[in-house]
């Protein structure tokens, strides 16, 4: 069964993120290891690394994933692309020192390039980054995107194309976001549709490469391309696919991370709903 968790704030120190996740009885968690909206990141001190590892050791959290900065665009023009590569390399090394095995990444935006050129630029950058960080065991998980603007990754075939270009490097994996795939036009609202879309996912990306899910309902309609998350059951997707997913043997032990609104005890309510769905007790 999937490992239930949520995105937690690292305000006050990375170890605080673990404590927050543990207080919510999470089995998995996601965090930003540095400010996701700033290029600058400071080196982690050995104290910070030790505190994080100790907190994790003491907690019931089994799996941690990091989300890379939103600023990164590996398809960007030269200066932006260089900054993006440097930032992702630093992120991978930070994860390695913290013992985090996976970094979730938005593949990038094509902007002035065609999507074919953008995909090639992303693949080339990733190839370089994997080489620089080859001594680490950290994987980069390309996230499925909603299709807003010129974003890359709204079609599973684009993600599989990047993977192929990197010779199916085992350090490339995927993170499936339910809100994003729905907004990108993949309907999962009935058992038949869920089965069909998950078969496409597995067929194009490979079951063992899908290493994380983001469980979010969607404020936008099917195919709207809007990246607007809602609490489970409060959006256009509804509860059905989340119940199917929580019972889905193919995705057991995979982190299932909420990125749903946190106001009004949002995390507590959404986590408890997922536990009920997993226990088949709704």
Contact set with Zn ion (CB under 5 A)? 143, 227
Please provide residue 229's backbone torsions phi and psi, each rounded to the nearest 5 degrees.
-80, 150
What is the spatial distance between Cα 196 and Cα 204, in angstroms, rounded to a whole number?
12
CB of 45 to Zn ion, least distance (A): 27
- Residue with Cβ nearer Zn ion (48 or 227): 227
Sequence-distant (≥ 6) Cβ neighbours of residue 203 within 8 angstroms = none
CB of 65 to Zn ion, least distance (A): 10
Q: Which helix (H) or strand (E) holds 252?
A: none
Rounded-to-5 percentages of helix, strand, coil across the chain: 40, 15, 40
CB of 196 to Zn ion, least distance (A): 22
What is the spatial distance between Cα 180 and Cα 147, in angstroms, rounded to a whole number?
8
Other beta carbons within 10 angstroms of residue 197's beta carbon come to: 20
CB of 158 to Zn ion, least distance (A): 16
Q: Is-contact 146 183, C-beta < 8 A?
A: yes
Provide the 3-class DSSP secondary structure of residue 163. Answer: helix
- Residue with Cβ nearer Zn ion (48 or 143): 143
CB of 179 to Zn ion, least distance (A): 6
- Residue with Cβ nearer Zn ion (227 or 243): 227
CB of 259 to Zn ion, least distance (A): 6
The tokens for 17 are 């993120």
What is the spatial distance between Cα 205 and Cα 234, in angstroms, rounded to a whole number?
29
- Residue with Cβ nearer Zn ion (144 or 209): 144
Residue nearest Zn ion (C-beta atom): 227
Q: Which residues pair with 69 in a beta bridge?
A: none
CB of 146 to Zn ion, least distance (A): 6
Q: Which helix (H) or strand (E) holds 139?
A: strand 139-143
Q: Which residues pair with 38 in a beta bridge?
A: none
- Residue with Cβ nearer Zn ion (27 or 227): 227
Provide the 3-class DSSP secondary structure of residue 115. Answer: helix
- Residue with Cβ nearer Zn ion (85 or 143): 143
Q: What is the residue whose two structure tokens read 């974003």?
A: 151
- Residue with Cβ nearer Zn ion (55 or 118): 118
């Amino acid at each position: 069964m999937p490992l239930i968790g949520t995105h937690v704030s690292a305000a006050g120190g990375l170890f605080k993120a673990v404590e927050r996740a543990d207080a919510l009885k999470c089995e998995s968690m996601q965090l930003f290891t540095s400010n996701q909206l700033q290029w600058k990141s400071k080196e982690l001190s050995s104290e910070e690394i030790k505190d994080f590892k100790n907190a994790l050791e003491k907690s019931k959290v089994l799996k941690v994933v990091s989300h890379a900065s939103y600023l990164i665009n590996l398809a960007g023009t030269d200066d932006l692309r260089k900054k993006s590569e440097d930032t992702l390399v630093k992120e991978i090394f930070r994860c390695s020192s913290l013992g985090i095995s996976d970094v979730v990444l938005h593949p990038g935006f094509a902007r002035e390039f065609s999507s074919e050129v953008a995909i090639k630029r992303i693949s080339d950058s990733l190839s370089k980054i994997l080489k620089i960080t080859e001594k680490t065991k950290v994987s980069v998980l390309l996230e499925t995107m909603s299709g807003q603007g010129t974003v890359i990754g709204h079609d599973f075939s684009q993600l599989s194309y990047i993977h192929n270009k990197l010779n199916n490097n085992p350090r490339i994996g995927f993170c499936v976001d339910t809100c994003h795939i729905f907004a990108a036009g993949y309907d999962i609202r009935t058992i038949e549709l869920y089965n069909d879309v998950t078969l496409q996912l597995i067929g194009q990306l490979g079951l063992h490469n899908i290493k994380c899910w983001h469980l979010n309902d969607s404020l936008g309609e099917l195919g709207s391309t809007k990246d607007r998350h809602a609490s489970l059951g409060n959006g256009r997707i509804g509860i059905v696919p989340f119940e199917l997913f929580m019972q889905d043997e193919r995705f057991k032990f995979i982190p299932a991370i909420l990125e749903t609104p946190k106001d009004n005890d949002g995390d507590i309510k959404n986590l408890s709903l997922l536990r009920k769905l997993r226990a088949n007790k709704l």
